[in-house]
A and B are shown apart, each in its own frame.
Chain A
Amino acid sequence: MGGGGVSQLLEQIHMLSRRCLFRVLSMGPLPIHLAFIMDGNRRFAKKRGLEDGSGHKAGFSALMTMLQYCYELGVKYVTIYAFSIDNFRRKPEEVQSLMDLMLVKIKSLLDKESIVHQYGIRVYFIGNLGLLNKQVRAAAEEVMKATAENSRVVLLVCVAYNSTDEILQAVKRSCADKDVERERERVRLVDIEENMQMSVAPEPDILIRSSGETRLSNFLLWQTGHCQLFSPDALWPEIGLRHLVWAILNFQRSHSYLEKKKKKKQL
């Protein structure tokens, strides 16, 4: 009884100190859009000697915590790289277990107690959804429909996604848009951008990839031309508040320089 009270008190203190920290951070410029590559789940499971699927489960709880911090801080858009088209090339058992986990977690987003209702999140599923199995696809579309009215904050989940695939789909759609009969219709930059699935959000300000790898792995190539890249060494389930704070401090350091350049168009 006493133990529960103490832990609740500690949680309250933690939340209060976090709020203070975020107040201080918001004195400087804050990113509007954060993107995460959630790398290192399998290495985490191996490190801890756990069975194969539990790395991804730990990764999911780390994701929920990170989303909570982002929305508390005031970040409006969060994009996560959940599953790449390249990941389909993994062993079939692993792909299947990932699909099963995703189905469970996507459905859980519709629960009353989920983070979606807590923060009024609008959820988008970005990617070649036709490559997913019927149940996962149906669940994803259900969540998108159910959250379509939310407007406070946005979560973009990239599943069955490849940036090169996104660009190619946008080109194909632009080709289909243009009337074949019309003579001088040429594809413009704005046509491609409008047809990109990620056009529902502005370009990300910071891209965080956990586990220390510094690669984009075919994620948001078009959108990260001027994005700040941050690669903490922590594996994804180990990611915490300090990494987020450090990323934002780095962002704030170069932000004024970048804004000046953008204004003078000197970038």
Chain B
Amino acid sequence: MLSLLSIVLTFLSLVIMPCLFVSWRLLVPLSITNIRRFIKTAASQSNNREESGTTGEKEKGGKMPKHVAIILDGNRRWAEKRGLGPSQGQEAGARTVMENVKDYFSMGINTVSLFAFSTENWGRPGDEVNYIMDMFEKLVKSEMSNLRRYGVKVSVIGKRTNIRESLLDLIREAEEATKNNKEKHLIVALDYSGKFDILQACKSLAEKAKNGLINVEDIDENLMDKELMTSCSEFPNPDLLIRTSGEQRISNFYLWQSAYTELYFPSVLWPDFGGTEYLEALDWYQKRQRRFGRRV
């Protein structure tokens, strides 16, 4: 009886200890769903490695994205469904970001971009906009220490002309405090418009051409990449773009940068987008065959 018990306990510890170790390394909570996902991901990774061995030209499937961009859509609909006001929806959305942000960088993902506020959103009712700005201020203040602790570099991209001074000061402080962090980069798009980003890059290139710093004929994609607001990142072009709430549009987020991005449109609303849904997105990404116009 005792020997049977000891055998069972030994077996359990042999199984649970590796699970705990993997969950600690991947920064993912230990649960049956996550164990299943990990096994599925590992299996598909080894499958894809076999396949890319046989056809040399195929892009390596099974790799993790280096840059994930997320459009946080569905906060107001989430609140409406529960009979709450839109500001409570925004708050729930912010809470989702705070709870999950460190997990976004697991599995080797270097850069995460969040579409927090679009230039078009200024057209929303004044009190909603003010509430959102107040919320951003609160968020930056409360999350600063956490982000420093996780070693995350924070960059805020977008027009800065309409943002209030107090929020701008907090942003500058956050960027300054985290500028030396390397492995993880969080880009927050605040008052961002993809068209404006391309336009300001074009203006900058035109200025340089006018001042003789570059030749007009030399203007190419690389020069453009350096002028865009995403040039602050090591991986400016997202590999995966997630837009929650089921709407299948890019809504003027990364336009130039999304040329070859895989687009994923889950129907879940943003406040309900947790770690599990994120893993599902990554799983979906790994199954994509990326050809970049060439033959498979």
A-side residues, CB < 8 A to B, are: 42, 84-87, 89-91, 94, 163-164, 167-168, 170-172, 174-176, 178, 180, 186-187, 189, 192, 213-218, 221-222, 224-231, 254, 264-267
Interface membership of B11, Cβ < 8 A:
no
Question: When the two chains form their complex, are residues B202 and A167 in contact, meaning their CB atoms are under 8 A apart?
Answer: yes
Q: Which residues of A contact B251 (CB under 8 A)?
A: 225-226, 267
Q: Which residues of A contact B209 (CB under 8 A)?
A: 175
Interface membership of B231, Cβ < 8 A:
no
The docked-state distance in angstroms from the alpha carbon of A169 to that of B104 is: 37
Interface centre among A84, A229, A230, A264 (most CB of B within 10 A): A229
The docked-state distance in angstroms from the alpha carbon of A229 to that of B124 is: 24
Question: When the two chains form their complex, are residues A218 and B260 in contact, meaning their CB atoms are under 8 A apart?
Answer: yes
Question: When the two chains form their complex, are residues B258 and A216 in contact, meaning their CB atoms are under 8 A apart?
Answer: yes
Question: When the two chains form their complex, are residues A192 and B292 in contact, meaning their CB atoms are under 8 A apart?
Answer: no
- Can you list 19 residue pairs at the A/B interface with Cβ under 8 Å? A89-B293, A90-B295, A167-B202, A168-B221, A168-B224, A175-B210, A213-B288, A214-B264, A215-B260, A218-B260, A224-B255, A225-B251, A227-B249, A227-B250, A228-B249, A229-B263, A266-B120, A266-B121, A267-B120
Question: When the two chains form their complex, are residues B258 and A222 in contact, meaning their CB atoms are under 8 A apart?
Answer: no
Interface membership of B273, Cβ < 8 A:
no
Question: When the two chains form their complex, are residues B252 and A226 in contact, meaning their CB atoms are under 8 A apart?
Answer: yes
From the candidates A42, A84, A89, A265, name the one contacting B120 in the complex (CB within 8 A): A265
Stretch at the interface among B22-30, B167-175, B191-199: B191-199
The smallest C-beta distance from A155 to any residue of chain B, in angstroms, reads 23
A186-B202 CB under 8 A given contacts A86-B294, A218-B260: no
From the candidates B121, B206, B248, name the one contacting A174 in the complex (CB within 8 A): B206
The docked-state distance in angstroms from the alpha carbon of A265 to that of B125 is: 11
Please, which residue of chain B has its CB at the minimum distance from the CB of A173?
B216
A178-B210 CB under 8 A given contacts A187-B203, A225-B194, A264-B123: yes
Q: Which residues of B contact A171 (CB under 8 A)?
A: 202, 205-206, 219
A178-B293 CB under 8 A given contacts A214-B262, A265-B120: no
Interface membership of B118, Cβ < 8 A:
yes
The docked-state distance in angstroms from the alpha carbon of A84 to that of B202 is: 23
Q: Which residues of B contact A213 (CB under 8 A)?
A: 288
Please, which residue of chain A has its CB at the minimum distance from the CB of B292?
A86
Question: When the two chains form their complex, are residues B202 and A174 in contact, meaning their CB atoms are under 8 A apart?
Answer: yes
Number of interface residues of B (CB under 8 A): 44
The docked-state distance in angstroms from the alpha carbon of A80 to that of B180 is: 46
Q: Which residues of B contact A216 (CB under 8 A)?
A: 258-261, 263
Q: Which residues of B contact A214 (CB under 8 A)?
A: 262-265
Please, which residue of chain A has its CB at the minimum distance from the CB of B194?
A225
Question: When the two chains form their complex, are residues A163 and B259 in contact, meaning their CB atoms are under 8 A apart?
Answer: yes
Please, which residue of chain B has its CB at the minimum distance from the CB of A180?
B210
Please, which residue of chain A has its CB at the minimum distance from the CB of B210?
A180
From the candidates B195, B206, B252, B264, name the one contacting A187 in the complex (CB within 8 A): B206
The docked-state distance in angstroms from the alpha carbon of A186 to that of B203 is: 7
From the candidates B203, B259, B288, name the one contacting A221 in the complex (CB within 8 A): B259
Q: Which residues of B contact A218 (CB under 8 A)?
A: 259-260, 293
Within residues 81 to 101 of chain B, which ones have a CB less than 8 A from any CB in chain A?
Answer: none
Question: When the two chains form their complex, are residues B248 and A230 in contact, meaning their CB atoms are under 8 A apart?
Answer: yes
From the candidates A42, A175, A225, A227, name the one contacting B216 in the complex (CB within 8 A): A175
The docked-state distance in angstroms from the alpha carbon of A221 to that of B202 is: 15
Question: When the two chains form their complex, are residues A215 and B262 in contact, meaning their CB atoms are under 8 A apart?
Answer: yes
Question: When the two chains form their complex, are residues B249 and A229 in contact, meaning their CB atoms are under 8 A apart?
Answer: yes
Please, which residue of chain A has its CB at the minimum distance from the CB of B254?
A221
